[in-house]
Every structure is written in structure tokens, then in C-alpha cells.
Structure 1
Amino acid sequence: MRPQELLLLLLMLKWSLAHTEDPAFPHLGDSSQPLPRPCPWRCSCPRDDTVDCAGLDLRIFPDNITRAARHLSLQNNRLQELPYNELSRLSGLRTLDLHSNLITSEGLPDEAFESLSQLENFYVAHNKLSVAPQFLPRSLRVADLAANEVVEIFPLTFGEKPALRSVYLHNNRLRNTGLPPNTFNGSEAITTLSLSSNQLSYLPPSLPASLERLHLQNNLISKVPRGALSLQTHLRELYLQHNQLTDSGLDATTFSKLSSLEYLDLSHNQLATVPEGLPGTLTILHLGRNCIRHVEAVRLHKARGLRYLLLQHNKLGASSLPKGTLRPLRALHTLHLYGNKLERVPPALPRHLQALVMPHNRVAALGARDLVSARALAELNLAYNSLASAHVHPSTFRRLRALRSLDLAGNQLTRLPEGLPASLRSLRLQRNQLRTLEPEQLAGLNKLRELNLAHNRLRVGNIGPGTWHELQALKVLDLSHNELSFVPPDLPEALEELHLQANRISHVGPEAFLSTPHLRALFLRANRLHMTSIAAEALQGLTHLRVVDTAENPEQVLVQLPRRGKEPSALEGGERGVGGQVALA
């Protein structure tokens, strides 16, 4: 090659290197652009400081992780151990996520954490750890060791961590012997501690005074030692449900120092009385599923800010809530009493009470003044009691002008109650013994949207003319499981959902739904319909109809669907189908 040709070739090569970008090495030849950092095979590195190797079914710790990594995600793999030499060189890590692997305590070397002096977030939940790491960095803020097999915590696992705020140890095998008294010494910023679903038999001592949320549910706790909660003045939520607490396991000072407590859950224990010393800051008190037979007013005296009191499934009887018991609870919003043995509505209900829920009791009568003090009630549930129409006073509901939902299902009513307030949106009367409906009984209920009369003894001939006239807002009407022989006439115009299943209907005439043009769902299942029982014109005006259910009749029923402009129906030909349940597209 002549010298001129060689010089020309060298110039062309230099120009090519200066102007060509290699896809793997952009700006090759441009020394002003930094080279990209290597990323482990199959992992992703969305930022220079982030390495994401989650969900790759890895069995071996990935190599080639950059020392610049601050956030390393290895969750949802099959790792059994972490090599000390690989982990210790990542001294700048802030987040290490090992959630959902197969890591054992032997596979998590304590020495590795000596180099991770900047680690803030450590997630190793859902692994196979039997003991906690003996040493975790002082810089730690969040530690999640939940759902392992941990039986022992060491003093420096969580101790001497001034920045530590959240510790999750639920779903392990911890006993009190596995938690040394100095477990949290020097860690005075912890706000959340979860020890639920372990094997603790009493409340651990020396808990951080900084706690705001403490989860101890699903243990074997039978006692809270005196003074165990005396320093936790910031505690707002305390969960002790599903334990073995009895009255002797608590005393008058157990909760009295918790001056910030708002939520206390003691449900599913063995308490016979409401605990003493409840703080005035308490908003929600859950005492359901205990053995409480009597509620003393003095126990509720200081809890004047209580808004939700849950006493369901206890052993409350006729004299368990004497007059005046609930009077101190001036802010009470909701009272749950279902599943007890109460024979009457508690007297002198708080005036601002908005929800009284007491189905499955033994209430047999409602007097004129039983609810007079609770005029703010918006929800009243007395389902599955022993109410008979003769023992429901005509004025019982008259003054409840804010009542929106009334549930009287599963009683022994033979007629609708009188004096129902015009504010009602939902009225549930299923599973009674109603035989007749008269216009006067539903008069004024022009805001009612849902009426359930299923499982009664109604016949069309016993539904008075004009009964539905004032139900101008009714959207859902359930008349299933009655004794109707045909579709009741003059149903409310606003009706969208009509349940007529399990009656005695054998024929649906062409004018059956003229008054309900907005009907969307029609249920005629389990009647006495035959193939041609539904008149061809019966459904044609129902342009909003989407569901027609005619299953479980003596024969498959021919259904002529309404025309919807130029749109074809879901059935071939757009007009006819044999039900079954027909759902229009």
C-alpha cells in the first residue's frame, strides 16, 4: 500500500470513531460522556444507584453489582444464602430487599452487616430465619422480619438504633423468653411494632415509650403486667384481639396512662366486664366476642370521646345495660350489640347516636319512647329478633327523622310498621309473616330506594290499589319467595331491579311492565312459567333491560327481548331466546 493510501485510510478510521455510536457503548470516542455502569445479567438498573433483580428465580447471589448501588431488590427469588464477600463490598446500600426467598439464619452472615453502615431499610420477611441477625446497622430505620420462624431476638438486633421507626416481627414463633428485656434499649424513635401471631403469654416489658401503634393480636397473652404500658403516652392504636385475657389479667392502671390512645381492640378474649381506666381520648373500643354480662356506667365514665362501641357476641341480657349506662358517651356514633340476649333496646341512648346495630337478640317489643332519645339515628338494625306487630308501638319510628336504613328482617311481623319516617332510603322486611300491603303503610316514603319484602306470604290480591304510588324513588324491589300468582300491577316508575323469583307466577301479560320503563334486571326464576308464558310484547318497551332470569321453571321459557335501536341483542336474530338467564350486551 502506497503512503498516500495508508494516510487516507487512517484519516477515515479516525473520522468513523468520532462519529459512530456503538449501541452498547454510546458516544464511543467522546471522552466527555461517562461510560454506563454494568448491570447484572437479567436484572434491571433503572438508575445508577438502583439494582432490581426481583422475581427472576435466582438461586445464586448475582455478581457484578456496582459498588454505587444504594437500593438492591432481590425479593421473590430462591436464594438460600448471601455470600459475605459480595454483600460486604456494597457498603453504600440504603435498601436491601430480600422478601420471599429461602434464606436461613446460617445463610445470613452477621459479619456482612458490619460493612453496611448506611443501611436504612431491611426487608427479609417470608424467609426461613430461625433467629434474628445478632447485629444490624445503627443507621436502620425499617426492619421487616415477619413470616419467618424466629424464636430469638438479640440485644443489638434492634437495640441502639436511634433512627429505627418500624419493626415487623409478626407471624414468627417468638415466646417471651426470646425477647430480652433490653431488646429496644437505645431505640427511642420506634413508632410501629408488630408482634402479632407469635406465642407470647404476657405483654413484653420495656417497650419503647415512643410507640404509636402496637400489634399483639393472635398471641397467648393472658396478662398485662402492672406498669407495662405506663410510659407509652404516644400510643394511639393497641391491638390485643385473639388472646386469652381475663379480668384478672388487667387492672385499673393498665390503660389509664395511655393519654393518646384512640383505638383499642380487645375482641376475642375472655373478659367478663368492660376494663377499668379507659382513657378519655379513646375513639374506638372493640369488645366483641368476649364473655361480658354487665356494663357498668363507671367503666365508661372517662371515655367520653368514644364514637364506636362494639359489644357484639357477648352474654348481655335483660339487665346488662341499665338506664344511664350509655349516657356519658355523648359523642357515640355507632353501637354494635348483635348476637347477645338483650330483650329490649337499651334505655336512654346517647342523643347523637347514628347507628344502632343489634340483630340476633331477643327484643320482643318496641315502646313509644324506646328510641326517643336517639333522634339522630340514621341506621337501625333489629333483624332476627322476636318482634311482633302487636308489640310495635305506632309512634316508635315516627320521630326518627334522620333514619335512612331500617332493617326488621327475620322477625314475626304480620304488617308493616306504622309511622315510618319519610327520610328512609332502605327498608328490609324479608323473612317475616306479612300477608297484606296497604297504601297507608308506605305513604310518604318518596325517598325510599330499596324495599325488601322477600320470604313473606304476600299475594297480589292482598296488595291494595295504589300501594306503590308514592314510592317515586324506588330502584330495587324484592318480592321473591312469596305467593304471587302474577306480576303486581302499577309498580313504581323508577324501578330498575325487580325480584319475583320463587313465586307462583304462570303467566306474564303484555302490559305487565308498562309502568316500569327503566327496568334493568328482572328475576323470574323458579316460578310456574312454561315456554310461551311471557307475552311477546311484555318486554318490548324495556329498552334498559340487561338481565332476564327465567331458570328453574317447569320448561325453558321463550323470551322476546326488547329492541334497542339498530343494536343487535346478544341472542341470534336480536329478538328471541330461551332462558335460562339472558344477559344483554
Structure 2
Amino acid sequence: MEKLILQACILISVVLYTGADANCPNGCSACSDGRLQCPGAGLNALPSPIPPDTFYIDLTQNNIGSLQKIPDLPELQSFRMSLNDLRVIKGGDFEGATSLMSLDLSMNSISKVYKHGFRGLENVETISLNGNKITEIGQILRNTPALKTLRLGNNEIEVITENDFEKNNMIKMLDLSHNKIMSIHGNAFKNMDMLRYLILSNNPITSLPDLTFSSTMLSLADFSNCQLENVPRTMPPSLTDYRLGNNLITSINDDDFNNITQLNLLTLNDNKINFIAHRSFGNLENLKELWLSRNDMVYIPRGLPQGLIKLFIDNNQVVELEPMLFKEDSKLKELSLEQNKVRKVHQDSLKYLNDLEKLNLQGNQISLIDVGTFTNLPKLEMLTLTDNPIQVFEQGAFAGLDSLNHLSMALIDGKTSSTDKILHENFLTTMPNLTTVNLMSSVGLTKAFLDIFAKSTDNTFENIKKVNLEYNELTTLPETVQTIFPNIKQLLLDGNLLHCDTKLLWLRAWMQTTTTVSFHQYEQPTCNTPDAVNGRLISELSPTDFKDVPLQQRINSNVQQSTETEVSEQPSSSVSRNTAPQSHDQDTPQNNGNNAQSSRQPSSTGGVRVIIKPPRNQQTSNPSKVSADKKQMTKAERKAARKAERERKRKMKEERRRQRRLSQKDKDAKRKKRRIHKKKGQRCKVDKDGNMKCVRRKRCKVDDQGNVVCRKRKGKGNKDKQKQ
């Protein structure tokens, strides 16, 4: 009984479903409640029949190439036909859709819209023609007086004339981006009383006339990625967002922004600006963001608005932060000067920036952080000094940073300063709210930082959650780190050269007992030395694996490991890594043989053992003394020697290439000279058709003996006679 009831229910549902789509055209997936949905159905023409009560049609992603006039659909309000193969909109194609409000014909191949192509669309408010091949606007919009949104981006329009939008005074959003527009008439937007968003980005516009706007509501004007050489003027006072990035503007004058008093965002990034007049931004009292990145500026402009909140001057040529740059009671919260050439930050450079929260000085040439540099920044929360050649942090350099919570000092190249000179104090004591410290790849600074903690455990920093010590060539870590940072969550130790002796037993114990602290970001910390535990994870070692290796034994082990390597290579084709070039050993052929024999000793595996030796000028005649010197070489000296040898070989290789290029140039020059002489010697030649042809624009003739010769130029015969 239950089975019969289930079959009956299925049958009733099938009947109801087929009844709902009984009038649906072929190829359409749904046709009910006034909606006709046929996306991706492979249609080549409009589906038929279309129910007369349809108010929504979706024909996206088909192969329809012609509309052939839409049938009478008095209730149709939305018509979507993007991603088809339409090429032409003919007059009267939409006469049957008098109630249409939204028309989407984007991503077709439309190249022509006839004068009355949109006839009957008096109520349409949105037309999207993006991604077509339209070359001009002309009179195609004369029958759409209620149009509010017009999208004509990604077409091939070249000119905007005075009468293109003559009948469209209701347009609020006009998108003409990614076209080929080179000329715009000054009165093209004169009749657009309701215009709010004007987008003309990505067009080859080099200059603009004084544009006339009747709209008092225009808030966005986008001229980015054009080829403008000057700032377009006569913008309405209502403008709040003005985008001029990626152009060819070289200077900002006093009166470029005089009329725009409500401006909030001004983008001038990616231009060629090298001059900004003193009062260029003086009238922009409401300006909140100013983008000047990637220009040719050598100084920070003065006279900036007092209410400015964000200032970006990245990737310029600024060399100095001058004193008293900003106005008193400045509201600036974010200042970015990344990738400039700043060498010095004066004590009063950041004065009056009491509200500054983010300061980015990454990638500059700062070598000294002086006393009181950041004293006037009580609200600073993020400070970035990464990638600077800072040699000294003076005592009191970080005074006044009570609100700082993120400090980044990665890639600090302070190798020329000793660790006792680069840092003069425990700077963490001046930052009570600090949570993150980034010292990645700052070898000298990190060692000075840890030396301070190794000597004193008086202070604890409970707010610090993350310390990044990656890639700092660390061989050990003071045990006081665990007590100084009691609430730490991340202590990153990737890429260091840890020596696992008894001094690191505490780290292994901490790793095995904690579940809240992470010690790596990508690779777990491993031992580099001693050899017995090389490459093994610290957390997986047993306490007996941590042994104190005597210093001399440790040096000898490192010397043997770095100077002898097994090379899996046939003896006949193997080459010693330290075989000197012929240019250095031509005077001592006997020694060459000895060196080659001593440096290519057969190994037990059938290969050769390669021994890296000091340069020849450092070798002595006493072999025992050489061995003693080799044992006394430190790891850094061996590394420097190998680097010098590689550099020498590289230079020799470049010199050989240069000599080959010069030789090739000489050969080419000789060939060219021979060709020139050969060409000058030629007088007449026969072309493919058997006709006589002369070189150097001379005509051929046959002399008395029947030989083909060239005619002499006028006057040459007279000169020859005169010579005779």
C-alpha cells in the first residue's frame, strides 16, 4: 500500500512539473512565474514561443547572432543577452518591449547600433554594452531619455562629441573605460544634470579641454591609466574622489585643485611628478587620503591639509625628512615612505604628529636612529624599519613609544658595527604595550638583542606574543628567553645554525612540554652541530644527545666536513674544483701535475675526492705548515676563501666571453669591409629576368667591344679630360 502511495505522489509531481513548463520554448531550462531562463542552452535564435506575461529573460552564453525583432512583451522588464554573437542592433529590434528597464548586451561583437536601435525603450534605466566593438556613440541614445546607468567600457570609441548625450540628462553613472578615446568635447557632459560617477580610465587621453559640468552631484572622476600630462581642471566643487594615477603628469601647480573643496581622496600615484608647488593642496580642507607613490619626488611637500589622515609617498627619491614638515595639530594617522633614499630623520621631522598610528620607513638608507627620533609619537602602534643599513641605535632612540605594539626591524644590515655598539639599551623597556618583534635576518642586531637578555633577567615582558629570530646564524639561545617572555606564543627559529650542546637542553625541554608555543613558521629547528646530531630535530633528541664538544675538536670536525666532499664522478671526466686556470700556471707546468694528482685522489666508491685548497699565492713550500694553517682556518675564513675562488672564476669566465665577443666583432667588421669592397668593384649585374642592372643608381650600356659597362655621371668625363 505504501509503495502505491509513493508511486502516486511521484506521478502527481511529474504532472505538475510538466504542466508548469508546458508553454516553455525548446532549449530553456525553466519557464514559470514570468521568468524565461535559457543560459548556456546553445541557442542560435530567440526561443519561441515566449509567454506574453514574461517579465524576465536570461539568454546569456548562447550563439544568438541576430535579434530579428523581439515579439510584443508588454510586461518585460529585464533582458539579459550577454556572451552571445550579436553584431548589429537594427532599428525597431526592441519596439515590443516598451516596459523594459534593464538591458544587458555585454560581451558580444556589436560594432553597429543604428540610429533607432533602441526605439521604444523610453523607460529603460540601465544599458550595458561592455566588451563590444562600438566605435562611436552618435545618436544611438536619443530614444532613452530615462537612462540612469550606461556602461560602454571595453569598446573602440575614439571621440566623445558635444551631442552624444544630448537627450540623456538623467544619467548618474557613465562608464567609458578601456576605450580608444583621444578627444572629448568640452560640452560633452554639459546636459548631465544628475551625473555622479564618471569613469574614463584606460584611454589614450593626453590632454583635456576645460570641461563643463551642470551636475552638482558629481562625486567620482576616474582618469587613471591614461596619458595625461597635466591635471584636468574645472572639476565641480562636489567632487570627493579624484583618480589620476598612472599618467604622465610631471608637476602640480598652485591652481590645479582650487575649485575642488570637498575632495576626500586624491590619487596621483605612478606618474612622473618631480615638482609640487607649496600651496597646491592648501585649499583641500576635507582631503583624507593622498597617494603620491612611484613618482620622482625628492622631498615631502609642505602645506599639506591639516585634516589629512593617510599619506603614501612610497618608491620616490626622498633623501631626508626635514624638520617641521607637518602643521600643528595634524590629524595624520598613517605615513608610508617605503623604498625611498632617506638617510636621516631629524628629531623635529615628525613633530605635531600626535595622532600618527602607522609609520613605514622600510627600504631606505637610514644608518642612525638618534635620540628622540620618535618622541613626538605618543599614539604610534606600528613602526617598520626593515631593510635599512642601521649601524647604531642611540640610547633613548625609542623613547616615547608607549602605544607601540608592532616593531619590525628585519633585514637590518649592521655588519660593519660590532654587537656592543649597535644597541646601547634594552629598548623593550620603553615599549610597555609591544606584542610583536620582527628581527628576521638581522644578524648583528639580533646578537646584540640576545646578549642584553643573557646578562639580565630583571625585566619580564608579559605582553609580547611573537618574536621572529629567523635566519640570523644563531648557534645558541640564552635560557633567559623563556622567563623574559612568559606569555609568548611564537618564537620563530627557522634557518639558524644551532649548536646542540648542554646549553640548549632547556630549549628541548620547553619544546616537549609546551603546547601553546610555536618555534617555527616553515621548518622545525634542527641541529647544525655536532656531527652526531646534524640535521636532527631538537624536539626529538634525547638528553644524552646534547654533549659539550671541545672547542678544538669542534673546529677540526668543521674543517674536515667543509674541505672534503665525495663526488660521484668518473675519473676520466672528473675535474678538480681547485684546478687553477692555465693563465696562472703557465710558468710552473711541473707543479700543475703535482697539484692535479694530489687533488684528485681515488675514493672507495670509484669516484674522486675533491680537496679545496687555499689560493696558490697563500700556499707554502712546507706541507706540514699548510696542514696546520688549514686546521686553524675558521669557518668564516673558509667561507670567504671559497667565495673569493668562485668570484675569481666568474671574472675569468666573463673575460673569456668578452674576448670572444671582441674577436667576433673584428671578424664581422672584416667581413663587412670585404662586402663593401666587393660591392664597389661591381659595375653591372644581371637580375633574375635577365636584365642588366647597375649598382649605385647607374645605368648600363654596351661599349664598342660589346662589354656591358655603367654610364659615367655627368661632369665626370669633363673632369677626366681636364686631368689629361
Tell me the TM-score normalized by structure 1.
Answer: 0.79
Q: Tell me the CA shift for residue 353 of structure 1.
A: 0.9
Counterpart AA for 1:381:
S
Q: Tell me the CA shift for residue 195 of structure 1.
A: 0.7
Q: Tell me the CA shift for residue 283 of structure 1.
A: 0.5
Write out per-residue CA displacement over residues 317-352 of structure 1, whole angstroms, 9 at most, x where no aligned residue: 1xx212111111111111111111111111111111
* 2:68 corresponds to: 110
Write out per-residue CA displacement over residues 161-220 of structure 1, whole angstroms, 9 at most, x where no aligned residue: 2221111111111111xx4x3312232221111111111112264322111111111111
Write out per-residue CA displacement over residues 263-297 of structure 1, whole angstroms, 9 at most, x where no aligned residue: 11111112111112111001011111111122222
- 1:115-514 paired onto structure 2 within 5 Å: 115-132=72-89, 134=91, 135-136=93-94, 137-176=97-136, 179=137, 181-203=138-160, 205-207=163-165, 208-247=168-207, 250-252=208-210, 254-317=211-274, 320-373=275-328, 375-389=330-344, 392-416=345-369, 418-420=373-375, 421-437=377-393, 440-458=396-414, 461=420, 462-483=422-443, 484-485=446-447, 488=450, 489=453, 492-514=461-483
State the structure with more CA Rg: 2
Counterpart AA for 1:416:
I
Q: Is the 8 A contact 2:204 2:227 kept in 1?
A: yes
Q: Is the 8 A contact 1:487 1:505 kept in 2?
A: no
After the TM superposition, which of the residue ranges 468-477 and 458-467 deviates more from structure 2? 458-467
2: CA distance between counterparts of 1:133 and 1:103?
A: 18
Change (3 A) 1:155 1:457: same
1: CA distance between counterparts of 2:354 and 2:538?
A: 44
Matched, 1:22 2:16: no
2: CA distance between counterparts of 1:387 and 1:229?
A: 45
Q: Is the 8 A contact 1:280 1:305 kept in 2?
A: yes
Write out per-residue CA displacement over residues 383-426 of structure 1, whole angstroms, 9 at most, x where no aligned residue: 2222113xx22111132100001111111112335134121011
After the TM superposition, which of the residue ranges 466-475 and 424-433 deviates more from structure 2? 466-475
2: CA distance between counterparts of 1:20 and 1:149?
A: 52
Write out per-residue CA displacement over residues 58-108 of structure 1, whole angstroms, 9 at most, x where no aligned residue: xx6149x76x64012222x24232455323xx1111111122x232214xx
1: CA distance between counterparts of 2:174 and 2:329?
A: 35
Higher normalized helix content (fraction of residues): 2
* 2:712 corresponds to: none
* 1:8 corresponds to: none
Write out per-residue CA displacement over residues 507-532 of structure 1, whole angstroms, 9 at most, x where no aligned residue: 23443232223333333222213567
Match of 2:43 among 80, 87, 100: 80
Q: Tell me the CA shift for residue 542 of structure 1.
A: 5.3
Change (3 A) 1:172 1:463: same
Q: Is the 8 A contact 1:377 1:403 kept in 2?
A: yes
SS in 1 for 2:180: coil
Q: Is the 8 A contact 2:56 2:78 kept in 1?
A: yes
Q: Tell me the CA shift for residue 539 of structure 1.
A: 4.0
RMSD of aligned Cα (Å): 3.0
Q: Is the 8 A contact 2:326 2:351 kept in 1?
A: no
Counterpart AA for 1:237:
Y
| Runs of 4+ residues over 6 Å off in structure 1 | 34-37
SS in 2 for 1:560: helix
Q: Tell me the CA shift for residue 298 of structure 1.
A: 1.8
SS in 1 for 2:49: helix
1: CA distance between counterparts of 2:374 and 2:237?
A: 38
* 2:495 corresponds to: 526
Q: Is the 8 A contact 2:28 2:38 kept in 1?
A: no
Q: Is the 8 A contact 1:350 1:374 kept in 2?
A: no
2: CA distance between counterparts of 1:166 and 1:492?
A: 60
Q: Tell me the CA shift for residue 133 of structure 1.
A: 6.2
2: CA distance between counterparts of 1:542 and 1:445?
A: 32
* 2:553 corresponds to: none
1: CA distance between counterparts of 2:303 and 2:58?
A: 55
Counterpart AA for 2:433:
A
Runs (5+) with no aligned partner, structure 1:
1-16, 28-33, 42-48, 54-59, 562-585
Q: Is the 8 A contact 2:192 2:213 kept in 1?
A: no
SS in 1 for 2:480: coil
Counterpart AA for 1:427:
L
1: CA distance between counterparts of 2:79 and 2:90?
A: 11
Q: Is the 8 A contact 2:374 2:398 kept in 1?
A: no
Change (3 A) 1:497 1:40: farther
2: CA distance between counterparts of 1:289 and 1:315?
A: 9
Change (3 A) 1:474 1:304: same
Q: Is the 8 A contact 2:223 2:244 kept in 1?
A: yes
1: CA distance between counterparts of 2:448 and 2:536?
A: 16
2: CA distance between counterparts of 1:24 and 1:559?
A: 66
Counterpart AA for 2:539:
Q
* 2:58 corresponds to: 97
Change (3 A) 1:296 1:257: farther
Change (3 A) 1:442 1:537: farther
Q: Is the 8 A contact 2:329 2:354 kept in 1?
A: no
Q: Tell me the CA shift for residue 256 of structure 1.
A: 3.8
Runs (5+) with no aligned partner, structure 2:
454-458, 529-533, 541-724
Aligned residue pairs: how many? 505
1: CA distance between counterparts of 2:510 and 2:188?
A: 72
SS in 2 for 1:22: helix
Q: Is the 8 A contact 1:93 1:119 kept in 2?
A: yes
2: CA distance between counterparts of 1:79 and 1:440?
A: 74
Tell me the TM-score normalized by structure 2.
Answer: 0.65
After the TM superposition, which of the residue ranges 533-542 and 409-418 deviates more from structure 2? 533-542
* 1:573 corresponds to: none
Q: Is the 8 A contact 1:530 1:556 kept in 2?
A: no
Match of 2:539 among 514, 538, 560: 560
Q: Tell me the CA shift for residue 430 of structure 1.
A: 0.7
Change (3 A) 1:514 1:130: farther
Change (3 A) 1:166 1:70: same
2: CA distance between counterparts of 1:547 and 1:138?
A: 69
Matched, 1:545 2:517: yes
Q: Is the 8 A contact 2:102 2:127 kept in 1?
A: yes
Same amino acid, percent of matched pairs: 21
Q: Tell me the CA shift for residue 255 of structure 1.
A: 4.4
Higher relative contact order (CA 8 A, sep 6+): 1
Q: Is the 8 A contact 1:353 1:374 kept in 2?
A: no
